[in-house]
Chains A and B, each alone.
Chain A
Amino acid sequence: MDLSAINPVILVASLMVAATPILLAAVGELVVERSGVLNLGVEGMMITGAICGFAIAVETGSPTIGFLAAMAGGALLAMVFGVLTQFLLSNHVATGLALTLFGLGLSALLGQGYVGVRPPATPKMDFGPLSDLPVVGRIVFGHDLVVYASLLLVAGVWAFLRYTRAGLILRAVGESHDAAHALGYRVVTIRLLAIAFGGACAGLGGAYLSLIRVPQWTEGMTAGAGWIALALVVFASWRPWRVLVGAYLFGGVTVLQLNLQAAGAAVPVEILSMSPYLITILVLVIISSDRFGARLGAPASLGRVFHANR
């Protein structure tokens, strides 16, 4: 094994790329969960976004339109979940699972003609000479628009939840929907908006996978990224900046194990491929044990069905 082949600068730069899909999906899900809705359909929305973005980008030749289409696709699918849970009062867990199962089937159906097709390349942001700086150039100034957008999104969600009135209302709905309802807030509308936002974020994350990270379309290509995003929200105890830390940590593990595979580590490839999932479980265990008080961060109405009697 030749560890010297692993360049730390490229490692950090590529871990940011590896982390971006799950970061986007996790931030979206964080807002959804803060509003008291548990949407387990992240995987389904991601993969739908992946194919919507891919197909539209290939057809139009523009990755930007592709990303917008992915957001629309993810949000649209999320609205199915929204209508079922908010109007037809179905169980959040079961409906989320249905969303994932349906999304996987739908995406495979939509993606039939797109296997083996190369998507149009997404240009990197042009920072001029800044990108040529050693180390910093590659890590800070060497990415595409979506990576920066995802970082801005984390900051935006944090500021929204912490400093705005709308964010306060969203949190109130998540903590006690009955109290929020009694105060006259439209619980269902607020939750639907949050669900749509979560869907758009997951869709964008999925399209980032199919258009930039991989970049091609294969069935089931998200391979559990949506579930890892869900785990990240728990890991982050429902706080935006911790989602960022978690996503980059996870991205680091993914990139490192890929590098180890390429460097020819003495461990079987399959064992290395397991490691991101195993580490996610391990982190969940550590966070869930009482010492970290992660449970305190969970919105009190999370996953409970809201039905206004009066």
Chain B
Amino acid sequence: MIALVRRPAPSRLWTVLTPPLAVLATMVAGGLMFAALGKDPVLAIRTIFWDPLFGEFAFYYRGQLLVKAAPLILIAIGLSLGFRAGIWNIGAEGQYILGAITGGAVGLAFYPLDSWIVFPLMVVAGAFGGFLWAMIPALLKVKFRTNEILVSLLLVYVAEQLLAYMALGPLKNPEGQGFPGSRNLSQYDAAANNELIAGSGMHWGVVAAFIAVIAAYVLLNRHLTGYHIRLTGQAPRAARFAGVNPNLLTIFCLGTSGALAGLAGLFEVAGPAGQISIDFNVGYGFTAIIVAFLGRLHPVGILLAGLLMALTYIGGEAAQSQLGLPAAAIQAFQGMLLFFLLAVDMLTNYRLRFGRAQVA
């Protein structure tokens, strides 16, 4: 009989050890899944995790790594603030879409003006769009105590419809011969978010992601608001007695994560994606939830987790083209990772005791 004994404080060792352990367990379980699909499991794992970094075509894939990791990290950093305080924004996908729409719309409005001011204005508009979309669940929670999980999530579906409307209606490319989708922003120099160093994958979104990591680290460790966030998460009652205003905290956490998700959307639409189209969003907002947990809600952890998750995207695409592994397998793989993470997470807070169960 195995009994669980609660640790007085979370184990520091296991806090660091559990994510790699979960990744390892996922690789084993994922390998079994790939084998069940009739693929060589070792080859599949190698194609996903090793070849993009050290294989023959690594020079191409390494750049892609930053491109995919940047939106994941930006969104996950924002989400982690709320998750720490027990405020669950799971509608980042919607805020990401809104950031792309508002930011992209500003860029399109200036077309074809060639001025340095266009891109900064787009960035501000993108962040603001995501912020506003996140304010809906935030204000409803503060005013009416509506569940922010449900509202933020339902707004994702609203945002997807809005995106379709924009891509087919107001923001459609007037010179697009009737095809859905806006003008290509990455071909409009004043609005393009192109690579800063050719071949590196480094664009403004990557820069913003790094800044967000540092800012979140400083906020959580050196700033009163960060302390309040951590306090509310660990001891909500104590936080109330300490004078933390839960309403302000809700608005702050949701607003920040919304703005960051909006930024991610804008950088994506002006760079790698290029245009506002119906299928512009690919689920970064949801994958970022996994990234946030895999990174233990810690900024540096999220940075690493974001890179790893980007690797599964890139490696997954490679496995798709080389081994014919279905795209959905990677999605299931990512979901599995979160399961294993939550499962081994128990070791952080509980000690295993082997032996006979005590009589109650």
A residues in contact (CB < 8 Å) with B:
40, 80, 84, 88-91, 93-95, 97-98, 101-109, 112, 219, 223-224, 227-228, 230-231, 234, 268, 270-271, 273-274, 277-278, 280-281, 284-285, 288-290, 295, 307-310
Contact = CB atoms under 8 A, between A and B. Distances in A.
Interface string B142-161: 00111101110111111001
Interface of B: 4, 6, 37, 88, 90, 140, 144-147, 149-151, 153-158, 161-162, 164-165, 168-169, 286, 289-290, 293, 326-336, 338-339, 342-343, 345-346, 349-350, 358, 360
Given A102-B338, A307-B6, A94 B293 contact: yes
B342 A98 contact: yes
A94 B147 CA distance: 15
A209 B147 CA distance: 26
B315 to A, nearest CB: 15
12 contacts: A90-B346, A104-B335, A106-B328, A109-B331, A227-B150, A274-B158, A281-B150, A285-B144, A288-B146, A289-B144, A290-B145, A307-B6
B351 to A, nearest CB: 12
Nearest to B83: A94
B212 to A, nearest CB: 22
A103 B338 CA distance: 12
Contacts of B331: 101, 104-105, 108-109
Nearest to B166: A270
B290 A277 contact: no
Majority-rule SS of A interface residues: helix
A29 to B, nearest CB: 12
A93 B88 contact: yes
Nearest to A272: B161
Nearest to A279: B154
B338 A101 contact: yes
Contacts of A84: 339, 342-343
B322 to A, nearest CB: 18
Contacts of B37: 109
Nearest to B349: A89
Given A89-B4, A89-B350, A268-B165, A234 B147 contact: yes
Contact of B286 (A91, A101, A103, A227): A101
B339 A105 contact: no
Given A102-B336, A104-B335, A309-B6, A88 B343 contact: yes
Contacts of B345: 88, 90
Contacts of A105: 328-335
Contacts of A104: 331, 335
Given A227-B154, A270-B161, A288-B147, A90 B342 contact: yes
Nearest to A107: B328
Nearest to B344: A88
Q: Which of A40, A101, A107, A307 has the most CB of B within 10 A?
A: A101
Nearest to A111: B328
B335 A102 contact: yes
Given A89-B350, A109-B329, A234-B150, A102 B88 contact: no
Contacts of A295: 145
A217 B188 CA distance: 40
Nearest to A308: B360
A277 B91 CA distance: 13
Given A102-B336, A281-B146, 13 more contacts: A88-B345, A103-B335, A106-B335, A224-B156, A231-B150, A270-B165, A273-B161, A277-B155, A281-B150, A284-B151, A285-B144, A295-B145, A307-B4
